[in-house]
Amino acid sequence: MSTPFTEQNPLPPKMTEKFLTWCLPKSLKEPVAGDLSEEFSGKAVIEGLSEARVWYFRQAFLTAFRYLFKTKRGLFMFIFGILTFLGTLLMALLMSGELDMFVNIPSFLVVVPPALFITIGISSKQTCKQALLLMLDDELEASLTELKSAKQMFQVLGNTSVL
Amino acid sequence: MDKEKYLGEFEQVILLATMRLGSQAYGKTIRVLLAELLKRDVTVGALYATLERLENKGMVTAKMGEPTNERGGRAKKYFEVTAKGHQSLKRSKDALTLMWQDLSLRLVSNGEML
């Protein structure tokens, strides 16, 4: 339940606040965002809205970057893994001939859609969504069954892509 | 040799601020107190990282308060120094007092030694 914007109670910049809460661990989202919001309102009334905004940006970004690499480590490793894989793949393709020999629309159509259809068919749309979220969000809590389902989903996706 | 490590300067400052504020010790009030008394502008991230470390060491306990409108409906996290925290503060203070004994500083004022 958030309070609407008024002159006595101005709200902090929305996007910055969203970025901050996205970076923070679950246990700190509420107290940290609340403290900054409370202080922002006070500063906006006393020092003016633009001063308060500058102060808020500084606090929010310094705090966000302190926690970003702790809470989103999984996401960064995923991106790094994908980039490394693509880089290696591209290098291998370029070294073994022309790129067109390997990368073309028919090959893509033969591999990707069937792999996706088989994976969704064997697990379920919900399981696929949950598995992807688990990969991207380090803080997401899941039961052992959900983790096993996610593992199975990735195994099926990998195997069907290779086949 | 005692294996327990001494508190860092920032940890001591935060524990002392928490003690001073009593039942009103939460992120914002601790930051404001540090700014007023020590003229030290601490980022909220640095403050909570230290409070979290102290909580893990068992030197402070935390409890969530009620959500308030002025905070956009978010709750405050109140902190209280535990007996272990008091003990560690005393230990650090005693160590510093001991090291300071029989020492005087040569301060420089306007380019002249005092």
Residue range B58-90, pLDDT digits in tens: 999 999 998 888 788 899 999 999 999 999 999
* Cβ within 8 Å, pair A66-B26: no
C-alpha to C-alpha distance for A52 and A50, rounded to whole angstroms: 5
Interface list for A 56-115 with B (CB within 8 A): 58-59, 62-64, 66-67
Mean pLDDT score, A110-115: 83
For residue A53, give every residue at least 6 positions away whose Cβ sits within 8 Å of its Cβ, in sequence order, or none. A12, A13, A44
What is the pLDDT, as a whole number, of residue B113? 58
Determine the residue type at A70: K
Question: Does the beta carbon of A3 lie under 8 angstroms from any beta carbon of chain B?
Answer: yes
Of A32, A37, A64, the CB nearest to B48: A32
Please tell me the least confidently modeled range out of A133-137, B35-39, B82-86: A133-137
Query: For A8, which DSSP code?
Result: S
β-sheet bridge partners, residue B62: B79
User: Which one has a higher pLDDT value, A140 or A131?
Assistant: A131
Q: Are A160 and A114 in contact (CB under 8 A)?
A: yes
What is the pLDDT, as a whole number, of residue B114? 54
What is the pLDDT, as a whole number, of residue A143? 85
Min Cα distance B3 → chain A (Å) is: 29
User: Which one has a higher pLDDT value, B56 or A103?
Assistant: B56
Provide the ipTM. Answer: 0.82
What is the pLDDT, as a whole number, of residue A3? 47
Q: For residue B2, what pLDDT band results from cuts at 50, 70 and 90?
A: low
3-state secondary structure of B61: strand
Q: For residue A2, what pLDDT band results from cuts at 50, 70 and 90?
A: very low
* Cβ within 8 Å, pair B43-A62: yes
Q: For residue B111, what pLDDT band results from cuts at 50, 70 and 90?
A: low
**Residue found by looking up tokens 């693509």 in the block:** A86
Determine the residue type at A41: S
Residue B110: pLDDT over 90: no
C-alpha to C-alpha distance for A123 and A67, rounded to whole angstroms: 34
At A38-88, the pLDDT tens digits run 999 989 999 999 999 999 999 999 999 999 888 888 888 888 998 999 899
Q: For residue A8, what pLDDT band results from cuts at 50, 70 and 90?
A: low
This prediction has a pTM of 0.73
Residue A4: pLDDT over 60: no
Which of A38, A39, A71 to substitute to test the interface with B, most B CBs within 10 Å?
Answer: A38
Interface of B with A (CB under 8 A): 26-28, 31, 43-46, 48-49, 52, 64, 67-77
Instruction: Give the helix ranges, DSSP H, for chain A.
Output: 14-23, 26-47, 49-71, 73-95, 105-122, 125-136, 144-162
The structure tokens listed for A46 are 């006393």
Mean pLDDT score, B90-97: 93
What is the pLDDT, as a whole number, of residue B20? 96
Mean pLDDT score, B38-63: 94
Residue B15: pLDDT over 90: yes
Min Cα distance A11 → chain B (Å) is: 8
What is the pLDDT, as a whole number, of residue B10? 95
Strands (E), chain B: 60-68, 74-81, 108-109, 112-113
For residue A38, give every residue at least 6 positions away whose Cβ sits within 8 Å of its Cβ, in sequence order, or none. B28, B68, B70, B71
